[in-house]
Amino acid sequence: MYTQLKHELYKLNHRKLPWIIITLMLFFMIIIGLAMGRTYSNLLVMTCYDSSTIIMLILVIVGSTIFSMEFQYGTIIPLIYRSSSRSAVFFAKFITLFLYDFVLHIAAMILTVLLNIVPIINAPVFWAAIYKYHQPLVVNMFMNTGVDLITSTLIISLICLTSCLINSNTVVIAINALIIFMGSDLSSSLLLAHVGPSSIVRWNPFNMLNLTTQYYNYATYHVTSMLSNAQLLTGTLCYTVVFLLLAYWAFSRKNF
């Protein structure tokens, strides 16, 4: 699998889109900073200017080129023939997307620091100030980034699954974008509609998308999710494994 991973990383590194699109993340972060104002300086720093959503959207766009576009145009076929196994191809693509996700989160933190060196759109912050969970602000930023990395890995597993089930790049992007923007609201609707016991319905996969937002705004989102941070974390990890295994199952049985 090392050879396949090296090949996937090489392809990702030599594509212009994955790196140019990071400028979109910077633009989004600046817009969020301007929209929220200087009153929420600490919260903006903790959440890296609410970069979670844009990172997920970037993963959907780039991830679709890694998976579904290769299915759509048949370029996956020579990869499988040259590889020792389908599992090597699949997990090389998954690891590549995860590493790109990690890079995006590091970039978001770096951009956050840069935006606060000269606080034009944000009020100056004291990085050692105690903020959420009785932790320094800088620790809050690292912890929130780690939590969001787990949430975005759930999205990656969904990208893998939908890409292995649907060959159309456009459809894969549309479905996952809808999940990102509407998943949390859909979970809330299911709980409010009382379609089943809330103790069971609250464990639906869409509810796990609340993990990051609940971590930095527990009082508001705990009422909506009906789960604790630890429960959301457990559910997110479990669903990530389940979706990833289903994606591999679909990939291994896919006809090319």
* Type of residue numbered 235: G
3-class SS of residue 123 = coil
What stretches in the chain show pLDDT beneath 70?
A: 72-74, 80-81, 256
Contact 106, 25 (CB under 8 A): no
What pLDDT is recorded for position 73?
Answer: 66
What are the Cα distances from residue 224, in Å, to 14, 187, 208, 219?
42, 9, 11, 10
Contact 60, 160 (CB under 8 A): no
pLDDT digits (tens, 9 = 90+) for 53-95: 999 999 999 988 887 777 766 677 777 667 778 888 899 999 9
Contacts of the segment 245-249: beta carbons below 8 A, 24+ positions apart? 246/161, 247/90, 247/157, 247/160, 247/161, 247/163, 247/164, 248/87, 248/90, 248/91, 248/160
On the 0-12 / 13-18 / 19+ scale of CB atoms within 10 A, 76 is buried
For residues 116 and 113, what is the distance between their CA atoms, to the nearest angstrom? 5
What pLDDT is recorded for position 168?
Answer: 82
Residues of the domain holding 13: 2-252
pTM: 0.92
What pLDDT is recorded for position 256?
Answer: 62
What are the Cα distances from residue 8, in Å, to 68, 94, 158, 191, 221?
14, 10, 19, 41, 38
What pLDDT is recorded for position 151?
Answer: 97
Burial letters 200-233, b for 16+ CB under 10 A, else e: ebbbbbbbbbbbbbbbbeeeebeebbbbebebbb
Token pair, residue 6, equals 């090296």
What pLDDT is recorded for position 213?
Answer: 95
pLDDT digits (tens, 9 = 90+) for 119-138: 777 778 899 999 999 999 99
Domain count, the chain: 1
